[in-house]
Amino acid sequence: MIARGVRSARQITLLFVAGLVIAGVLLGGIAYLVGHDAIRGQIDARIEAEMHSLRHLQKQGGNRALLAAIDEDDERGGSFDYVLVNAWGHRLSGERGHPLLAIGWHDAVFRDDAGNGIPVRALTAPLDDGLRLTVATDTAPAAALLRTTLVLLALALLVLIVLAIGCGLLFERAIRRRLDLMNRTAVAIIAGHLDSRIALSGHGDEFDQLASTFNSMFGRVEALIGNLRQVSSDVAHELRTPITHLQNRLERALEEIPPGSPGLETVDAAIGDSERILSLFSALLRISEVESGTVRRYFRTFDLSAQSAMVVESYSAVAEDKGCQLLSDIEPGILVDGDVELLSQAMTNLIENALNHNGPGTRVTLVIERCEDRVALRVTDDGKGIDEADFPSALRRFGRLEARRNPAGHGLGLPLVQAIARLHQGALELQDARPGLRVTIWLRSEGQQPRVGTH
């Protein structure tokens, strides 16, 4: 079970590699200790067998036979060294560089004729007639074997670490690849591509099962949202026709009413109300069309800077008539991929909101600039602004803030701008300009035209 707190594929991979390395170290250490004990056991068994053989030889042939056997083994260059002393501690056999050891097992160092130290494993035991015999054997070969084993274990551990890291990276890549598929699909659905689905690998593993569950959920969401949009669109279409007929009748009636008649103002007000209702239905249909993503087929790469300059030029006179200033700070040559009409409508909606919801003397600024790999389309005013707590209401359909907004509005301007931003895989951000309101549409940049001269 993966420990609580491990959240990412990389952490899982590191945990896997660390666990494998720790297991390798433990197994290698155990193998080394077991090998060390086994070699020590074999050496001790050989020494005990030699000691038993010499003790038996003394019992059968006496001390003379014992000394003869020791001398014969020394001359033959056997694998054992001996030290034999009598009851008074006089050395009867053995090199003078070999120390006299107490009874029992010892790890000692004997000296050869050149004075070089030789590590030995030795056993000293009492014999008949008060003699004391030490049997020792060189442990240097065994130590060399253990060192070689240790080097091999270290190399094996290094290979294990490399393999663990390699397998871990492959494991991480596999997880990330599958998770990226799910993430990209979710991002596409958020951007309005409700028909996007997670591709299955065909292996029938847990990821495929999870992807199938998500795909079923996405299909259900697509159907529900599609039904909701269809109902909204149908209602708007069905109601727009009779209201249009009603408006036409009212206009004909208005023409037939003599000037100064009492009902003239009432009919004129009814015509204005019908126009606002039709405008509301048109906005709802436009939002539904944008959210459906069908207009994405009209996308093309265009010069946002040039288009923004045209919008500012066309609205400058409107701003002057309202006693406001419309300024611009447009970075030239910014290209984006999108629908020209929709982004122009988003700009006009933001400019109209700033002009209509603030009084004369308001300064409205349109800024187009590149911020790293994104483009900011920003409209800022120094008017009354909106409290940050009211930002969610301002982005909600029909979320009119009556105290600050034009009572003739219907609360669909910012929701339409937000739908346009999402259609272009961007985002809409509201900020308090202190004073006023700053609205930013974040878009993806498609490149930059070369600049000529200095601006």
| Spatial CA neighbour of 347 closest among 382, 377, 383, 380 | 377
- Give me the pLDDT at residue 4, please: 40
Least confident of 9-13, 172-176, 181-185: 9-13
Do 261 and 321 sit in the same domain of this protein? no
Average the pLDDT over 61-82 and give the result: 83
- Give me the pLDDT at residue 166, please: 85
Do 230 and 269 sit in the same domain of this protein? yes
Do 303 and 421 sit in the same domain of this protein? yes
- Give me the pLDDT at residue 403, please: 44
- Give me the pLDDT at residue 286, please: 67
Domain end point (choices 110, 126, 145): 145
Do 333 and 368 sit in the same domain of this protein? yes
Query: Has residue 294 got a pLDDT over 80?
Result: no
What would the pLDDT profile of 90-116 be if each residue is shown by its tens digit? 888 877 667 888 899 998 888 877 778
- Give me the pLDDT at residue 405, please: 47
Do 44 and 111 sit in the same domain of this protein? yes
Give a yes or no: residue 182 inside a domain.
no
Least confident of 303-307, 344-348, 398-402: 398-402
- Give me the pLDDT at residue 211, please: 86
CATH assignment at residue 124: 3.30.450.20
Query: Has residue 339 got a pLDDT over 80?
Result: yes
Do 308 and 405 sit in the same domain of this protein? yes
Give a yes or no: residue 3 inside a domain.
no
Between 47 and 238, residue with greater pLDDT: 47
Give a yes or no: residue 439 inside a domain.
yes
Do 210 and 340 sit in the same domain of this protein? no
CATH assignment at residue 372: 3.30.565.10
Between 241 and 409, residue with greater pLDDT: 241
pLDDT-based confidence at 5, cuts 50/70/90? very low
Between 369 and 11, residue with greater pLDDT: 369
Domain end point (choices 292, 322, 348): 292
pLDDT-based confidence at 422, cuts 50/70/90? confident
Average the pLDDT over 44-53 and give the result: 91
Range of the domain at 82: 9-145
Mean pLDDT score of the chain, rounded to an integer?
81
**Nearest-angstrom CA–CA distance, 109 and 213:** 74
The DSSP code sequence of 330-341 is E-TTEEEEE-HH
Least confident of 192-196, 346-350, 383-387: 192-196
Helix then strand then coil, in percent of the chain rounded to 5, is 55, 20, 25
Six token digits for residue 154:
């270290």
Between 6 and 392, residue with greater pLDDT: 392
pLDDT-based confidence at 232, cuts 50/70/90? low
- Give me the pLDDT at residue 2, please: 40
For 108, the 3-state DSSP assignment is strand
CATH assignment at residue 226: 1.10.287.130
Between 380 and 185, residue with greater pLDDT: 380
Do 211 and 306 sit in the same domain of this protein? no
**Nearest-angstrom CA–CA distance, 405 and 435:** 16
Name the CA dihedral angle for 268, 273, 279, 280, rounded to a multiple of 10 degrees: 180
Give a yes or no: residue 183 inside a domain.
no
Give a yes or no: residue 2 inside a domain.
no
- Give me the pLDDT at residue 439, please: 93
Answer left, alpha or beta for residue 99, where phi above 0 means left and psi between -120 and 50 means alpha. Answer: beta
- Tell me the Cα Rg of the chain: 47
Domains: count for the chain: 3
Query: Has residue 6 got a pLDDT over 70?
Result: no
Do 83 and 216 sit in the same domain of this protein? no
Give a yes or no: residue 235 inside a domain.
yes
**Residue 367 CB: number of other CB atoms within 10 A?**
17
Give a yes or no: residue 169 inside a domain.
no
Do 133 and 46 sit in the same domain of this protein? yes
- Give me the pLDDT at residue 365, please: 93
Do 17 and 124 sit in the same domain of this protein? yes
Return the DSSP state at 89.
-
Average the pLDDT over 329-346 and give the result: 89
Confirm whether pTM is higher than 0.95: no
**Nearest-angstrom CA–CA distance, 349 and 421:** 13
Domain end point (choices 256, 277, 292): 292
- Give me the pLDDT at residue 448, please: 44
Give a yes or no: residue 224 inside a domain.
yes
% of the chain with per-residue pLDDT over 70: 85
pLDDT-based confidence at 413, cuts 50/70/90? confident
What would the pLDDT profile of 150-161 be if each residue is shown by its tens digit? 898 889 888 888
Average the pLDDT over 390-397 and give the result: 78
Least confident of 29-38, 227-236, 239-248, 418-427: 227-236
Do 426 and 313 sit in the same domain of this protein? yes
- Give me the pLDDT at residue 404, please: 47
